[in-house]
Structure 1
Amino acid sequence: MIDSHADGRVRTITIDRPDARNALTWDGLDELEAAVAAADEPVIFLEGAGPAFCAGADLDVVAELDGDGAEEFAKRGQRVARAVETSSAVVVAGIDGAARGGGLELALACDVRVATPEATFGEPGVTFGLFGAWGGTVRLPRVIGEGNALEFALSGRIVDAETALEMGLVSRIVADPRSIATEIAENAPDALTVLKRRLRDDADRETRERREAEAFAELVAAHADDVAALRGED
């Protein structure tokens, strides 16, 4: 269900179940988590095969869950989203077609979300009595603000790429999202990792600023020759 291959500094991870709009089962979640954990490239490009990014949880699986099973399935999806969010790699979601429910939640866990003009987004579970539970209620307000998150989630509406851009749900609309992953991968890998950690840090302000200064000092020491070469070009 999950295909993973490297091309230079970019590891492409594809949810490869196009006949089911890349909906994820128990095994699919485990495979995705393993692929993210095994990546040692500085950038991961996450995509879906075929005409959808990811439809989220496989409804055939959800229909068979009892209360305990439903909680465990939610926790499994949350664990995978955390693996994406905390990966040392910069994770770029390339969203082409539908991102629904858990698929949208996986995209929210990524560091950068890039859409094609054909991309659409939604949390439609509320229309039939459910909601996405792979960390979406935590991340959605952080990404688009509480007001937008409440309206978007409670309405169950589907939005197109342009609306998603206006909401801040994606940062760019491009024909080839992979090009953004390649662009990011051209930068220094250690600086990418440090920047991701600093921007993701949710400690208090004083702690974040201290860590920022320490990380900057480490990078200056590591790239002293590069800095000297740049200075010589001035």
Structure 2
Amino acid sequence: MCVVTLARPERRNALTPAGLDALEAAVTEADAPVVYLRGEGPAFCAGADLDVVADLDRESAEAFAERGQRVADAIEDADSVVVAGVDGPARGGGVELALACDLRVATPKATFAEPGVTLGLFGAWGGTVRLPRIVGEGEALDLMLSGRTVDAEDAHRMGLVSRVTDDPRAVANEIAASDPETLRVVKARMRDDSPPAEQARREAAAFADLVDRHGDSIADQRDS
């Protein structure tokens, strides 16, 4: 397992353009079946660094949004299973990067908010696409339009996080114990947005590939 740490604790791990580039490189270059994404210090990620945002003009603002979208897409499209371990506040772009992960696992100290509306902004790192897909349009509109903060239990209830536990890294370790190729295949099948008939064809072919790959061990387990 590869651990990727957002490491600006003095700024609650807020992300600059350079920080986004470093995060993209760390995830895409990870040679591990599972990547565990965490924040250093008491926060997961405060999102975009507001010192950067305050200095943007229209052209650079669009470029900054596209940069964040590219990083979120890289997380979502990575061959590795990416697990976000959220221990403390996740805000704005921090929520959006977590949304791009395959699993979001929170501690009881985790909180989530999309507070952009309070600044006359909104989450533009793919948040308006992924948030309604994951929690439903009603919950997504409530979070985006109100800017309210939800705790870990509320986030779990709405499907924003899959588990609440004292040790999110243990969940990542649990997943990493499985066969790497199987993890890759399951992620690819779950992320497939091709037409249903094509999805079904690819699913059957991927299953056959894995049976062919693991036939001996399956037989051993059957006979044990």
TM-score normalized by structure 2? Answer: 0.99
Tell me, what secondary structure is at the counterpart of 1:50?
coil
Tell me, what secondary structure is at the counterpart of 2:125?
coil
Describe how 1:59-138 pairs up with structure 2 within 5 A.
Answer: 59-138=50-129
CA distance in 1, matches of 2:180, 2:115: 37
CA distance in 2, matches of 1:94, 1:82: 18
Q: Match of 2:42?
A: 51
Which residue of 142, 153, 166 corresponds with 1:151? 142
Deviation at 1:204, TM superposition (A): 1.3
Structure 1 unaligned residues grouped into runs of 5+: 1-9
Deviation at 1:98, TM superposition (A): 0.6
Asked if residue 213 in structure 1 is aligned to residue 204 in structure 2, the reply is: yes
Letter in 1 for 2:60: G
CA distance in 1, matches of 2:210, 2:176: 17
What do you get for the CA RMSD once the two structures are aligned? 0.5
Aligned length in residues: 224
CA distance in 2, matches of 1:136, 1:182: 27
Deviation at 1:21, TM superposition (A): 0.2
Deviating beyond 2 angstroms after TM superposition, the runs of 4 or more aligned structure 1 residues are none
CA distance in 1, matches of 2:73, 2:116: 21
Deviation at 1:40, TM superposition (A): 1.0
% identity of equivalent residues: 64
Deviation at 1:225, TM superposition (A): 1.1
CA distance in 2, matches of 1:148, 1:230: 44
Deviation at 1:61, TM superposition (A): 0.4
Tell me, what secondary structure is at the counterpart of 2:90?
strand
Tell me, what secondary structure is at the counterpart of 2:44?
strand
Which residue of 18, 23, 35 corresponds with 1:27? 18
Deviations 1:182-216 (A, max 9, x none): 00011110000000010111111111111100100
Letter in 1 for 2:23: L
Deviation at 1:128, TM superposition (A): 1.5
Q: Match of 2:220?
A: 229
Structure 2 unaligned residues grouped into runs of 5+: none
Tell me, what secondary structure is at the counterpart of 1:84?
helix
Tell me, what secondary structure is at the counterpart of 2:178?
coil
